[in-house]
Amino acid sequence: MLGLVVARTWTLSEAKARLSELFRLARSEGPQAINRHAGDEVVVLRREEFDRLLGRAKKRESLVEVFRKSPLYGSGITFERDPDVGRDVEL
């Protein structure tokens, strides 16, 4: 199942009665399978694992990558500003 290892298999009635535990174990120990009838099975898994399996895992971009995707990248625009020399303050 796409590199997915099921940590435990539950019956449907067991899963209903112990849903909080099933949820906790899916987060801490990995995917949990639930059987209703022979061959009728679902798997509960962490959202991060689901997104990874679908190729939707979020990857953080570096600041350099963000700037490279800017519409201004490579446009030749330069920005200049006067140096900040501060101000006089009376104490």
CATH number of the domain residue 61 falls in: 3.40.1620.10
Domain hosting residue 21, numbered range: 8-68
- The C-alpha atoms of residue 66 and residue 36 are separated, in whole angstroms, by 47
- The C-alpha atoms of residue 20 and residue 45 are separated, in whole angstroms, by 13
- Number of domain units in the chain: 1
- The C-alpha atoms of residue 62 and residue 44 are separated, in whole angstroms, by 32
pLDDT digits (tens, 9 = 90+) for 19-58: 999 999 999 999 999 999 877 899 999 998 888 888 876 6
Q: Give the dihedral of Cα atoms 36, 33, 28, 59; nearest 10 deg.
A: -120
Residue 90 maps to a domain: no
Residue 22 maps to a domain: yes
Q: Which residue has the tokens 């939707």?
A: 56
pLDDT digits (tens, 9 = 90+) for 67-86: 888 888 888 888 788 888 88
Element (H, E) at 43: strand 40-44
Residue 57 maps to a domain: yes
Q: pTM for the complete prediction?
A: 0.57
